[in-house]
Chains A and B, each alone.
Chain A
Amino acid sequence: MHTEGKDHAELADIFNKDEKRVDWHDETLWFIRAKRDKAVHQLPEWEDLRNTASQIKHNVLSNLDKYLVEFEAQAQANGITVHWAADAAEHNRIVHQLIKDEGVTQMVKSKSMLTEECGLNEYLAEHGIEVIDSDLGERIVQLAKEPPSHIVLPCIHKKKGEIGDLFHMYLGTPSGLDDPQQLTEAARIHLRDTFLTRKVALTGVNFAIAETGEFVVCTNEGNADMGAHLANVHIACMGIEKIIPQRKHLSVFLRLLTRSATGQPITTYSSHFKKPREGQQMHLVLVDNGRTVQLGREEFRNSLKCIRCGACMNTCPVYRRSGGHSYHTAVAGPIGSILAPNLDMKKYADLPFASTLCGSCSNVCPVKIDIHDQLYKWRQVLVKEGYAPTVKKVGMQVMTTTLNSPTVYRLAGKMGRIVMKYAPFAVNNGLNPWYKNRDMPEPPKESFGEWYKKNRK
């Protein structure tokens, strides 16, 4: 999809053209949010778990240098080769070198949002390496030549008919086939062949344990394991914030992760990789790519606690009705809108404004990140630095003038009420960005000020 130069509002406009699809997208994600609620309500200690997880992560962020060194030493003692990458470019170079060293031009990859963030697939393609994504959802968007639109549900924006068309074109399934069961079976056969023939496999990392030097990868499909166990070389890539102190802390995070993500009690497979198997090489790449900068921004530091469950996206009224691609960044939705401006304030200045600040994201976040507060804080930073999106800037200038003068404020309020009463079409139209996908409220007959003047005596 071509997103170059378009901001969230423009990209959301494109998504919003198909109203039926928007409704379907909205309902699908809400259905997942509801499953999350059901799972959560079965655990009376849910809030204790969230608090504890948040505190553990706080301890991690405040001792990250020690934990990283400890993790590295343990992992090396286990026979894992540890690499450090300061940015996306270095990460991509390291991975490419490892593939070259094995003398192959193909790789199988399981889901890793970090490699999306680093643009690894494109980089490797430019260097003649073919990458096959093995998570079904990721494989589907890869065939469609699109990025994932959700961190847990990469092709949540696609209808089964469209997936059937892709499979017909690339995997040779009968045309018109749109049965999820049969399509999954076709992908199973196609990818099994890939797993059996690839010598290098790359996986992401959900958690890395400082105490033991092992790392944990969670999947429902088993694709990370199929890739890693059949390959000669296993490369695992992780952001430096994925460290947790001790093995026993996994209990807290594994209890929270999938309940928040999909409402499941745990993923089908929670694999603990500690040592390479006999005859295998295991490499682990620790990536910074802006994380240390975010660590230094006190107001946004908490965003590094994220365990990538996707709950904030599933619940976000803006995400649900604008689609993941409208965020034009690897991690979409509320948390992505906090992480992206850290990497490039100018390019992602629009994202913190793509929120209603309703707080639903913060309420569901399993590690209690103050997501909506951080979005609000980003707006202030961005406006101060002169990066606010233009439409909002004009609106805000008018707002500032209005709010600075009591007379103009009273007059504007009165005008507004009159306009909405006698000419609602003047507000309920496409020129008013607040009208998009919502009807404006009925105006009150008089302002509070007017009412107060009349009634106070």
Chain B
Amino acid sequence: MTSREKILAAVKQNQPESVPMPDIAFLTGEPVEATEKFVTTLTTIGGRVYRVGSYDEIAAIVKQNYTGGQRIITLIPELAEITTEVFAPQPAAHHLQDVELAVLKAHFGVAENGAVWVTEELLGHRALPFITQHLAVVVNAADIVPTMHQAYARNIDLSYGYGAFIAGPSKTADIEQSLVIGAHGSRSMTVFLMG
């Protein structure tokens, strides 16, 4: 018998009688003003939020904060002017190790935890939001949902190979519980809330 057969046989023999799956539809969270809540939550967990009306505004903010010499990359065509190079997605990500800022699009945001949902095709490379020193994400204000329940109800496109909720900058509190921003992933996270 293979281990697979052994394990499955043991599971079958030892598992209790089948109980039904509970309905989770009643879990919706409290009604909230989603955008407001998103801004407060993300700010509390160390992110920065700019409410903007256009891509031009985003470009202006980026140019103001990043001057000279640093690698800035984006896959958003409207932001082409801020990119310091043509960014071609390719399997290996090692060439991204000195990226200073990556500006990405997100599908939607979640008010209760300040997270944004991104999938592979928005990233160019899976490693990009982690390997970059700083991360910025553009999301429509209209695309903020209250809780994770609406988030999963909304993200029904299952074609991705990799997707992630990203909530704020990388952090750790492993040394005597002191919060330190910037562990292995991005040192800061900015969300441009559009509209």
Contact = CB atoms under 8 A, between A and B. Distances in A.
Interface of A: 28, 31-32, 43-45, 48-49, 52, 55-56, 58-59, 61-65, 68-69, 78, 84-86, 90, 134-137, 140, 153-156, 158-160, 163, 180-181, 183-185, 187-188, 191-192, 195-196, 212, 220-223, 225-226, 229-230, 240, 245, 247-252, 254-255, 262, 264-280, 286, 288, 292-293, 295-296, 298, 301
A423 to B, nearest CB: 43
Contacts of A155: 174-175
A325 B128 CA distance: 38
Contact of A44 (B20, B30, B168): B30
Contact of B11 (A45, A68, A140, A225): A68
A69 B113 contact: no
A184 B183 contact: yes
A286 B178 contact: no
B147 interface: yes
A265 B113 contact: yes
Nearest to B127: A229
Q: Which 7 A-B pairs have the closest CB atoms?
A: A222-B185, A296-B14, A275-B161, A265-B113, A221-B183, A292-B10, A137-B174
A359 B122 CA distance: 47
10 contacts: A31-B177, A65-B12, A140-B175, A153-B177, A183-B175, A188-B183, A229-B125, A266-B167, A268-B168, A301-B16
B176 A52 contact: no
Nearest to A183: B175
A84 B2 contact: yes
Contacts, number: 251
Query: Interface on chain B toward A: helix, strand, loop, or mixed SS?
Result: loop
- Contact count band on B: 35 or more
B165 A269 contact: yes
Given A59-B22, A62-B17, A252-B27, 18 more contacts: A44-B30, A45-B30, A55-B19, A63-B15, A68-B7, A134-B184, A153-B177, A180-B178, A181-B178, A185-B182, A195-B184, A265-B113, A266-B167, A268-B170, A269-B167, A272-B162, A288-B3, A295-B14
Given A63-B15, A265-B114, A268-B185, A226 B131 contact: yes
Contacts of B2: 84
Nearest to A274: B161
B190 to A, nearest CB: 14
Contact of A264 (B45, B149, B172): B45
Which among B41, B165, B168 has the greatest number of chain A C-beta atoms within 10 A? B165
A381 B14 CA distance: 19
Contacts of B167: 265-270
A272 B164 contact: yes
Contact of A220 (B112, B149, B172): B172
Contacts of A271: 162-164
Given A251-B148, A265-B167, A188 B115 contact: no
Contact of A59 (B10, B20, B125, B186): B20
A244 to B, nearest CB: 10
B98 to A, nearest CB: 11
A45 B126 contact: no
Interface string B3-37: 11011101111111111111010110110000000
Nearest to A212: B158
A220 B182 CA distance: 10
Nearest to B126: A229
B127 A226 contact: yes
Nearest to B189: A268
A293 B14 contact: yes
A221 B113 CA distance: 17
B151 interface: yes
B130 interface: yes
Contacts of A255: 112, 147-148
Given A65-B8, A255-B148, A269 B164 contact: yes
Contact of A248 (B11, B94, B153, B176): B153
